[in-house]
Amino acid sequence: MDVQEHKPTWPHLDLNPALSQHARQRAQSIQNKIADNITTFAGSMAFVYIHIIWFAAWIGFGVESYPYGLLTMIVSLEAIFLSTFILINQNLETRVSERRSHLDLQLNMLSEQENTKMITILRAIAEKVGADLSHDPHLEALSEETLPEKLAEQIEAKRE
């Protein structure tokens, strides 16, 4: 299949198996579907317009008099539920982000191993053809294997 012909709806899910699997698992849960749909609707302009019409009608038709205690209670309860749905959605986004970060780390570590191996091979080729690499001060450091634990320690030491 030609790469240009493939136009996925959610490219990050098609290209990332971990995210794709997570999305399939999430879609299977009725509770998650309900929370996603409510959060999606609550974040739309339709939600805003419905509330403008609702508040205007409530006040305009005199459903209750000022200070609108029942309306305040209804809106407060709605806010409690909406904030809960937003937190549920944020938890999902956090899990997806953690999976993506873990996958990125794995890919970066694999790339680092490949680059180190390529440098080793290129140094061997350079030795074989008699090229002088002594003028490159970074070559030795780049040829060393990267240890994630040591790197994390160095980053923490610089933060302090």
Radius of gyration of the chain measured on its C-alpha atoms: 28
The pLDDT score that the predictor gives to residue 129 is 94
pLDDT tens digits for range 27-63:
667 888 888 889 999 999 999 999 999 999 999 999 9
Q: Which two tokens stand for residue 35?
A: 């929370």
Residues 6+ apart with CB under 8 A from 46: none
* Domain residue extents for the chain: 14-159
pLDDT tens digits for range 81-123:
999 999 988 988 898 889 888 888 888 888 988 998 998 898 8
Q: Which two tokens stand for residue 49?
A: 């317009």
Q: Which of 4-18, 26-40, 117-131 has the highest mean pLDDT?
A: 117-131
Residues 6+ apart with CB under 8 A from 72: none
Calpha distance 96→23 (Å, rounded): 9
What are the φ/ψ torsions at residue 86 (nearest 5 degrees)?
-65, -40
